């Protein structure tokens, strides 16, 4: 079989739990459903850090985030780290991208030959976390305002961006189809939806009956029953300053589902182009996300934690001519993407890596052999809402979270999918906890990391203060791209102001 083309589609903040192939009964995403029905669905795929920038850099490098000094949304992704884009080019692939990737620093390509759009978010140090300010530091304005503002609109900033991403993505497919030199391609198309705020065009809002939108399965927790990281997030996100009602939660979920339907429509358009151009016979389509979205579960929003809604992502591989439809239960994570792509491209197990990788190829599992999977994934966290490093390990159904050395949580996600029964202190699980902790701390020293991460923050904060955020580093496609979308401004406030019709940003209703 000839070398495959690869179409890699990534959504932002799309929780696996929000899709029908992962059990959701409400969302309407028929194109994703079809790809899942005809493809291989990895039921337990996790991001390696539940925040945009570190997750995406880690995914590209095939390495755990802390190993490449990716801690928050303002860490530079160093240019000397090889990515799958570099390696695929080494195999004579055309490697292009349309959309968001949240690369920070002067290198805005990281191996891609062509980027068809600018970034939507800052590419400099504007969003550096500052542990010296404690748990209430809010570098990206992740407050409850975007939740309270949820609803339909004529137009949003995110629709502006994603329409541009979709246009350039489909045009790239047409352009690639015209080439007739035997070179395969790898095209990444990365959307910003369904990232908060949960506002979408009226036509997508109207796909749902508001009364059919379900409430979170787990109600908000009292502060004294939260784990340490959840308490941090409670303050970082200013949940103590806003009143979030049941109707706010339903409006947010309604908007989130509408945004998923909007992205699903664009996925369908790209699949149509593959069919029309004859590319579908030899193109592997992969759908995933950078992290999930808590969507009001436990009273929590956004990402920034290891709970299922925040850290589990869809991972669907569609290539009916190569891989039979199947569902894979064993654990995997986004660092497995690089070796999987390389084995797909090479047609065999590929070993030409110039630097260590932490991932494992999923190609054997795609071919029906899951025995080689290690059924293990690791997540890390030191981003917005943290006051120190945290780590998670999941093996089989068991998930262990070590949260800054203050709390340890242990859940069996098969028996307890909503993660409400912490078994960490159950004597019956003492041996299991010890085994998982041995994996978690292997080569991972939180005391050393705390010093390293804080030093990184101080350097970046100083540079940004001195320079005022210049240069912006943002990828320039149009001459005014350094002034479009979100640069040094707070994301939530900018998105609210870009909504049509204008809706005044929600303000706190309580004294902190």
Q: How far is CA 97 from CA 169, 336, 403, in A?
A: 8, 20, 35
Which strands, in side-by-side order, build the sheet including 407-412?
376-381, 390-395, 398-403, 407-412
- Beta pairing, strands 94-99 & 114-115: parallel
Per the rule left: phi > 0, alpha: psi between -120 and 50, beta: everything else, 298 is left
- pLDDT confidence tier of residue 88, bands split at 50, 70 and 90: very high
Look at residue 320 and tell me whether its pLDDT is greater than 60.
Answer: yes
- Kindly state the average pLDDT of the residues 349-357: 97
Cβ–Cβ < 8 Å for 290, 59? yes
Query: Residue 139: its pLDDT value, please?
Result: 64
d(Cα 156, Cα 149) in Å, to the nearest integer? Answer: 12
Three-state DSSP state, 2: coil
| CATH architecture designation of domain 5-497 | 3-Layer(aba) Sandwich (3.40)
Is residue 352 within 8 A of residue 362, CB to CB? The reply is: no
Residue 390, helix vs strand vs coil = strand
Which one is catalytic: 45, 47, 102, 236?
102
Which pLDDT does position 509 carry in this prediction? Answer: 84
Contact 89, 111 (CB under 8 A): yes
Q: Nearest CA to 420 among 245, 300, 246? A: 300
Assigned token pair, 264: 């699903």
Backbone angles phi, psi at 380, to 5 degrees: -130, 160
Task: Reply yes or no on whether the pLDDT at 140 is more than 70.
Answer: no
pLDDT at 141 over 80: no
pLDDT of residue 503: 83
Region for 99 from its dihedrals, namely left if φ exceeds 0, alpha if ψ lies in -120 to 50, beta otherwise? left
Distance CA 292, CA 302 (A): 8
CB 504 within 8 A of CB 205: no
Give the start-to-end residue ranges of the domains of the chain: 5-497
Q: Provide mean pLDDT across the span 467-491.
A: 88
- Chain centroid to Cα 184, Å, comes to 27
Lowest mean pLDDT among 130-144, 241-255, 380-394: 130-144
Annotation says 291 is catalytic: no
Contacts of 179 (CB under 8 A, 6+ apart): 94
pLDDT tens per residue, range 377-427: 999 999 999 999 999 999 999 999 999 999 999 999 999 999 999 999 999
> For residue 93, which of 172, 171, 176 has the smallest C-alpha distance?
176
Instruction: Write the DSSP assignment of 249-261 as a string of letters.
Output: HHHHHHHHHHHHH
Task: Tokens for 372, please give them.
Answer: 């080689």
Q: Comparing 209 with 511, which gets the higher pLDDT?
A: 209
Q: Alpha carbon 22 to chain centroid distance?
A: 16
What are the tokens at 231? 């308490």
Q: Which residues contact 508 (CB under 8 A, 6 or more apart)?
A: 143, 238, 241, 242
H helices present in 102-239, as ranges? 145-148, 157-178, 202-205, 228-236
How many residues are recorded in the chain? 512
| Token pair for 277 | 């151009």
> For residue 491, what pLDDT band results from cuts at 50, 70 and 90?
confident
Q: What percent of the chain has pLDDT over 90?
A: 89
Is the pLDDT assigned to residue 512 strictly greater than 60?
Answer: no
- Reply yes or no on whether the pLDDT at 264 is more than 70: yes
pLDDT for position 490: 72
Residue 367 CB: number of other CB atoms within 10 A? 13
> How far is Cα 256 from Cα 147, in angstroms, rounded to an integer?
10
pLDDT digits (tens, 9 = 90+) for 425-471: 999 999 999 999 999 999 999 999 999 999 999 999 999 999 999 99
Higher-confidence residue: 14 or 136?
14
Torsion of CA 317, 340, 294, 402, to 10 degrees: 150
The pLDDT score that the predictor gives to residue 488 is: 80
Integer Cα distance of 41 and 323 in angstroms: 11
pLDDT at 21: 98
pLDDT band at 502 (very low <50, low <70, confident <90, very high): confident
- Cβ pair 399, 413 in contact under 8 A: yes
| 348: pLDDT strictly greater than 90 | yes
Q: Identify whether 195 is a catalytic site residue.
A: no
The catalytic position among 47, 52, 236, 332 is 52
Q: State the pairing for strand pair 398-403/390-395.
A: antiparallel
What is the band of 135 on the pLDDT scale with cuts at 50, 70, 90?
confident
Residue 511 reports pLDDT greater than 70: no
Buried b (16+ CB within 10 A) or exposed e, 385-402: bbbbbbbbbbbebbbbbb
> pLDDT at residue 506 above 90?
no
Query: pLDDT digits over 184-229, tens only?
Result: 999 999 999 999 999 999 999 999 999 999 999 999 999 999 999 9
When pLDDT is averaged across residues 88-92 and rounded to a whole number, the result is 98
pLDDT, tens digit (0-9, with 9 covering 90-100), for 290-310: 999 999 999 999 999 999 999
Which residue has tokens 């799958």? 84
């Amino acid at each position: 079989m000839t070398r495959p083309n690869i179409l890699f589609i990534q959504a932002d903040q799309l929780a696996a739990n929000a899709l029908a192939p992962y059990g959701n009964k409400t969302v309407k995403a028929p194109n994703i459903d079809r790809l899942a029905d005809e493809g291989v669905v990895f039921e337990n795929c996790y991001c390696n850090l539940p925040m945009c920038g570190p997750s995406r850099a880690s995914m590209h490098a095939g390495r755990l985030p802390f190993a490449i000094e990716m801690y928050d949304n303002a860490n530079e992704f160093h240019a000397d780290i090889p990515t799958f884009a570099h390696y695929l080019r080494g195999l004579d692939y055309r490697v292009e991208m349309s959309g968001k990737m949240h690369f920070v620093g002067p290198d805005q390509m990281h191996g891609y030959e062509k980027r068809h759009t600018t970034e939507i978010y800052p590419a400099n140090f504007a969003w550096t976390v500052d542990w010296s300010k404690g748990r209430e530091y809010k570098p990206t304005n992740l407050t409850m305002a975007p939740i309270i503002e949820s609803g339909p609109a004529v137009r949003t900033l995110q629709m502006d961006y994603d329409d541009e991403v979709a246009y350039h993505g489909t045009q790239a497919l047409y352009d690639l189809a015209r080439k007739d030199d035997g070179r395969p391609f790898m095209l990444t198309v990365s959307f910003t939806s369904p990232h908060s705020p949960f506002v979408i065009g009226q036509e997508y809002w109207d796909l749902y009956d508001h009364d059919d939108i379900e409430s979170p399965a787990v109600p908000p927790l009292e502060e004294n029953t939260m784990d340490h990281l959840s308490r941090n997030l409670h303050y970082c996100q200013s949940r103590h300053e806003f009143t979030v009602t049941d109707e706010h939660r339903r409006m947010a979920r309604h908007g989130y589902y509408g945004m998923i339907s909007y992205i699903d429509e664009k996925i369908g358009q790209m699949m149509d182009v593959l069919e029309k151009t004859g590319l579908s016979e030899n193109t592997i389509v992969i759908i995933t996300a950078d992290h999930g979205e808590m969507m009001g579960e436990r009273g929590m929003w956004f990402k920034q934690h290891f709970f299922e809604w925040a850290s589990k992502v869809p991972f669907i591989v569609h290539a009916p001519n190569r891989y039979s439809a199947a569902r894979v239960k064993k654990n995997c994570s986004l660092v497995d993407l690089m070796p999987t792509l390389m084995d797909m491209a090479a047609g065999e197990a590929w070993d030409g890596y110039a630097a260590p990788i932490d991932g494992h190829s999923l190609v054997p599992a795609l071919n029906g052999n899951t025995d080689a999977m290690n059924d293990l994934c690791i997540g890390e966290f030191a981003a917005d809402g943290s006051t120190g490093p945290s780590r998670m390990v999941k093996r089989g159904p068991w998930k262990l979270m070590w949260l800054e050395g203050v709390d340890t949580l242990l859940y069996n996600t098969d028996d307890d999918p909503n993660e409400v029964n912490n078994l960490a202190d159950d004597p019956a699980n003492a041996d299991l906890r010890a085994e998982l902790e041995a994996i978690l701390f292997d080569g991972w020293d939180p005391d050393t990391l705390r010093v390293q991460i804080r030093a990184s923050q101080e350097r970046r904060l100083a540079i940004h203060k001195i320079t005022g955020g210049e240069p912006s580093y943002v990828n320039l496609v149009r001459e005014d791209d350094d002034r479009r979308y979100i640069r040094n401004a707070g994301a939530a406030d900018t998105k609210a102001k870009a909504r049509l019709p204008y809706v005044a940003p929600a303000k706190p209703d309580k004294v902190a």
